[in-house]
Structures are given as structure tokens and as C-alpha cells.
Structure 1
Amino acid sequence: MQPIDVRYNDGRSVAAHDAVLELMPGYWLITPKQQNADFQTVRWELPGIVTEQGFTNTFIFRYGEHPQQTIECKTENLPEILKQKYPNRVFFKRRISDNIFKSPLTLVGFIVLVTGLLAATYFFILPFAAEKVAGQIPQPVEVRLGDALYDNLISGYKVDSSLSLKVNDFAKAIDFKTKYPIRISVVKEKELNAFALPGGHIVVFDGILQKMKTKEELAALLAHEVSHVHYQHSLRSIFRSLSGYLFVSLIFNDVSGIIAVVAENSNMLVNLTYSRELESEADRKAMEVFQAQGISLKGFVDLFKILDTAAEGTASNELLSTHPLTADRMQYASELAREQTAFRDQSELQKRWLQLREVR
């Protein structure tokens, strides 16, 4: 067997020397190629040789106590040579890369696995993380974001200024139990729809106002939308939907970038669908507001009936497509309304409702 070219280091200096390796029964001999080298032939007993496993094409072996001697070898077929010479000793454990890249089918499987992991990160982990980050955004930043969304979105609608003024006046008679600045805009649209923006903006289509007969129905609609604002449902849903776009902005804490990305996708708010859990959470919060102020919870029951009836007829009901009305929600509202006993005078709310109807 021909000697094998290696680079040898005695562990005491940084210099490495060209040498040849001879594989002997039970030991290795390492001999310098140059006669004037700083070392003489070195003998390594087989049991003391340690292989340094790596992912490069350089094979490294160490020997002895500290400071350890080292040899490096770039002979590609060295594993086969050692296996033939010492069949009962394992110098190299099979590396993952060996298994992956030797078989085309295994390589394809590996690529599919990595692609799957990346997809899972993008579609599940990243949206979840983005939603959690959304919950940590300071309120002033969220209000700025909502303002940018509103400015982009409202240009596509015709705002009824007089009706908006009256609905905002109506809302001021209700304590919604939130720190957000609530600002309501009524737009001229036939559809039965209303939606909340992050930071306090609420857009109400006048189509749903035309269907209302009592102040409690309007109060229920507004309380429900304010609850979405209060719990940041819109913000969290937007961040989940746009998590891939927001990822870089979040990493660099680029508030302006976050606002820009979300504002450019403001139209998604019109069709933003909440889950059953979020709808139920908003219902509970809104109904707590009613109970705290002695407003009849029958307003929720009547509002749900308007939506349910419209869904069975020919009227366009965008509100139900984005705010799913389930039997559980209707039953919960009906049960609480039947059990409610504490009512308060709502003459101020009634007065503002009548003023609103005059404009409507």
C-alpha cells in the first residue's frame, strides 16, 4: 500500500509539515517528507487515534494528550482505504449529507422536507408570531396605523357628513369601556355592513341604518364594533394575513414600513372575516357594556333578527359574510336578554336616536 500524503502538526507550534502516512498493523507511522523537518518519524498507536468528524472533504485525526498531535488528509478514498486495512474498526460514522446526496430520491425527499418546513413556518408560525407582535404595538402607533388605513379606504366611499355627526353624537351617550378614540363614519352604501379599523375608526353603511327601528339596535351594532377595536381584532387579523410582508419591517422595528404595508392593503378590511371565537368575544364585551349601563339587551336580539331576515331575503348582507352569525350567538343574546332585570333611564339616548332619525 502506497504511503498517504498528510499535513502533520505536533500540537506545540502553529507550523504544519508535509508528511506521509503509513498504515501498519495496530499503529500508524507519520514520516516527514523533508529531511530537515522539525520532527522525526512519529508512531500513533491505533487505540489512541481520534477522528474529527466534519462536513468538508478534509479528514482530520488527533492523537495523544494535550497538546494533541494532528494530521489532515485530503485523499478522497481514505475511508475505503482504512476500512480495507482495519475492517474491525470504525473511523467514520455515516454523515447525514452522505445519505442525502448519494441517492437522487433521498435528495428529493430532503428538498420536499425542507420546503415543507419553510411553508409551515410561513403559513403557521409566522402568522402566529405576527399576531402576537400586533398585540404589543403601543396604542399611539395603532391609532396612526388606523388613520392611515382610514385615509386610504374612505376615498372609495361617499361619506354622509350629517348622518356621521349624529351617529357620533349618539355614540357619546354610551360608555363603551375602552381607551380608544372612537370615530364613526357613515357612508352611502345599500349593503348591510359595518367594520372596525385599528385604533378607533368605525365605518357604518347607511343601508343597515335604514333597517333599524330602535336605539338599542344601533347601540348593539356600535358596541360590537367598538369591542373589535378594544380587543385589537382587526389589527391582529391584518397582521396575521400580511405576516409575510410585515416580517422584515418587524425585524427592523420599522414603524413607518409597517404602516405603509398595512395601509396599501386597506381594502382587505371591508372583507375581513372574523372567527367565531372573535365574534363571541366581541359579543360578550358589548353585552357587558349594555348590562353595566342598563340598556336593554333585546337590542342585540333585534339586530340579529334584522341580519338573519336580510340573509333569507334578497338584500345584500355583507355584514354576515364578515361577521358570521351563528345559532350560538343568537341563543346567547336571547338568554341574557330574558335574564336581564336591571334597566336604567335611556331618555338621553332616545333623544339622540330621534335626532338621528330625522337626518336619516
Structure 2
Amino acid sequence: MEAFYQDGLSSRRHPVRVARFGDVVRVTGQDLDLEYRADEIHVPTRLGDSARSLELPDGGLIFSEDNEAIDALFPGSSGLERLVHRLEQHWGAALGAVVVTALASVLFFTHAVPWVGDQAAKRLPMEAEHLLGQQVPTILELMGMRESELPHATRNRLQAAFNELLSALPENRDYELRFARWGDMPNALALPGGVVIVTDGLVELFEEDRLTVAVMAHEIGHLEHRHTMRSVAQSASVFVVLSLALGDLSGVTALTAGVPTFLANNHYSRDFEREADAFALELLKHTGNSPEDFAEALERLVDDKDRARESEFHYLSSHPPTQERIDQARASGSDY
């Protein structure tokens, strides 16, 4: 290979010929005859057809624009470089690589990360979820939630109905029912760790306990399937998801801020809602309540749509009812 040699002590370049004999590279020119081990010579990455400077172990340099000859002399060091060079020379392949990389990134963040988060949340120890749930009410208070003003008799009746729902579950649960005033808006929330919050506005809108009981059954369905925790984990950052997957409780702490925002502003996925609906309808049947109570509760909330538009904390903002869900409850009630 024809090249230029520079000794590293001066800027003078000497025309030389570079040849390789096994593991030995020989550099010869006028008054020059140097030998180096091939693995001692640093060969830079090839970038298009730009000239390259080979770094010698004694500080000298070899300059050449003959990239094909360089790759032939040092084949063991250029596997990745050759691939990069081929991509540079073939823009179609390079563009395809960019598209594939972009698509893989999108799939990673839209499918892989949520899936890992969901699986990690489902396997999270209940003790850790309880720890998270204990911190959420404090944040909800900062968002306007206050102590309930419902009559004690009303709360006692609903607590008894809630206990009856729990007694019908396949496993013993220590879920807790709490009442709170959140302005006048009707709402019910399922908190991580096993807490159902029913607002005064919901009880006052329904007027009949049976409708509130139906909504409580739905919220118990969310608790049984850990929907709140899974929903928040699915939308968490990569760091939080990996922390959960590795059992690092710092990931649980990081989710705390996201739970109240999810409960107030977002909604469960369609699959989670269907799962909670199906659970509630069966639970109502097993406790002697009619599934049609749930359909009527949803219809009552739809009729309250004027107030729903005035506040983001209305039950419909986090549990969007559809006619399909109402019809499903009616159909389940017809078999009751």
C-alpha cells in the first residue's frame, strides 16, 4: 500500500510503502525500514472515503486514502467498520436502518415498557402497595378532598353493605371503605393497597343505597385486579418500570405522585373497565343484589352530565360509561 509516514517528532511526511507479512507490518521508504506488530497499530474507523491516519506504537503515523488497501491489511479490526461503510455507501439500506431503529424504539416505549410495568405491578408485594396507598390520601387532601359530611346512619348502612360484598369474595380481604367530600362531585376511587373512597356527592346523587353498592362492587373489582397500580405502572418511566421489575422499592415511591393524578384525571383502559364490570356484576349476583343496579347507576351519572362538564373530578372523568357497558349490565340482570 502506498502511503505517507510521519515520525511524530516533526511535520515532515515521507512517501512509504506498507506491507504485511503475517503478524508483522513493514514500512519502507527512503532511509526507512520499520517493522511493527499488526495488533500494536491502531486503525481508526472508516468514514466514507476520508483519508485515515494509522497510529503506530512509537508515536508515528501512517496516512493513506486507500481505504480498501487498509481494510485488506487489517481485516480483523474492520468488521463493524465495514458494515458502517456499506451503510454509508448505500443510502437505501441506511434509511431502512433508521426506520427500523425508530420503529423498534416506538414499540419499546409503547408496548415493551408498559407490559413490563404491568407484569411488575401484578407481582408487587401487597405490603409495598399498602405503603403507597397510605401516602395517596394526603395528596388527595391537597387536591381538595375533605372529611365526609354524610349522616352517620348513612355511612353505617353503606359500610354494612360493603362488608357483605367483601364476605362474598373468594379470599378474605381487609379492604377499607372511606367516605369523603370532594366538593359536590360524585366520585368513587380505588386506591392502591385496598381502599375504596366514596364521595358524599355520589351518595347524594344516587339517594338509594343499592346504586352506591353497585358502584362499590365495581371499585372492588379494580382492587381485586390491582388496576390502579397496573395503570400507573404502565405509564411510568423506564427507570421506574425497571425498578419495579427488579424489586427496588424506590420504584414504588416514585409512583406515588402519579397515582392521584391518574385517579382524578385519567381513566382505566377499556379492558380494565370491562374486567371490573364483569367482576362487579357477578359479585352483585352473589350478594343478592341486581346487576341492573349498576346499569341504573351509570345512567344516573350520564343524566348528571351537566355537572360532569364542570369538574374534572366527576366519576365519569375516570370511569367513562358507554351504552355498551350499560347494556351488558342490563343483560346480566335479565339472567338474575
Query: Structure 2-normalised TM-score?
Result: 0.70
The correspondence for 1:307, drawn from 276, 286, 301, is 301
Name the amino acid aligned to 2:26: A
Contact map agreement 1:158 1:187 (CA 8 A) in 2:
yes
Give distance in 1, aligned partners of 2:25 and 2:71.
24
Name the amino acid aligned to 2:295: V
Q: CA shift at 1:108, angstroms?
A: 7.7
Report the structure, 1 or 2, having the larger helix content.
Answer: 2
Unaligned runs of 5+ in 2: 3-15, 36-42, 47-51, 53-60, 73-77
Q: CA shift at 1:92, angstroms?
A: 9.1
- The structure with more radius of gyration: 1
Name the amino acid aligned to 1:334: R
Name the amino acid aligned to 1:321: S
Aligned to 1:61: none
The correspondence for 2:178, drawn from 170, 176, 185, is 185
CA root-mean-square deviation: 4.1
Q: Give percent identity, aligned residues only.
A: 22
For residues 33-182 of structure 1, the aligned pairs below 5 Å read: 56=45, 76-81=64-69, 95-101=82-88, 114-155=101-142, 156-160=144-148, 166=156, 167-174=158-165, 175-177=167-169, 179-182=172-175
For residues 143-292 of structure 1, the aligned pairs below 5 Å read: 143-155=130-142, 156-160=144-148, 166=156, 167-174=158-165, 175-177=167-169, 179-188=172-181, 189-250=183-244, 253-255=247-249, 257-268=250-261, 269-292=263-286
Tell me: CA distance 1:148–1:258, structure 2 relative to 1, closer, same or farther (3 Å). Answer: farther
Tell me: CA distance 1:75–1:321, structure 2 relative to 1, closer, same or farther (3 Å). Answer: same
Tell me: CA distance 1:74–1:150, structure 2 relative to 1, closer, same or farther (3 Å). Answer: farther
Query: Structure 1-normalised TM-score?
Result: 0.66
Q: CA shift at 1:210, angstroms?
A: 0.6
Q: Which moved more, 1:194-203 or 1:116-125?
A: 116-125
SS of aligned partner of 1:270: helix
Name the amino acid aligned to 1:158: R
SS of aligned partner of 1:253: coil
Contact map agreement 2:202 2:212 (CA 8 A) in 1:
no
Q: Deviations over 1:78-124 (max 9, x none)?
A: 5545999xxxxxx9999331144468998787566545533432233
> Is 1:327 aligned to 2:319, yes or no?
no
Tell me: CA distance 1:176–1:74, structure 2 relative to 1, closer, same or farther (3 Å). Answer: farther
Q: Deviations over 1:21-76 (max 9, x none)?
A: 9xxxxxxxxxxx57xx9xxxxxxxxxxxxxxxx98469xxxxxxxxxxxxxx9774
SS of aligned partner of 1:242: coil
Contact map agreement 1:5 1:75 (CA 8 A) in 2:
no
Q: CA shift at 1:225, angstroms?
A: 0.4
Give distance in 2, aligned partners of 1:171 and 1:55.
72
Tell me: CA distance 1:229–1:92, structure 2 relative to 1, closer, same or farther (3 Å). Answer: closer
The correspondence for 2:26, drawn from 9, 19, 24, is 19
Q: Deviations over 1:273-319 (max 9, x none)?
A: 012221111111111112222222232132122112212x4555721
User: How many residues in Structure 1 have an aligned counterpart in Structure 2?
Assistant: 289
Give distance in 2, aligned partners of 1:74 and 1:291.
85
Give distance in 1, aligned partners of 2:178 and 2:252.
21
Name the amino acid aligned to 1:191: M
Q: CA shift at 1:208, angstroms?
A: 1.3
Give distance in 2, aligned partners of 1:55 and 1:203.
65
SS of aligned partner of 1:196: strand
Give distance in 1, aligned partners of 2:335 and 2:161.
26
> Is 1:337 aligned to 2:328, yes or no?
no
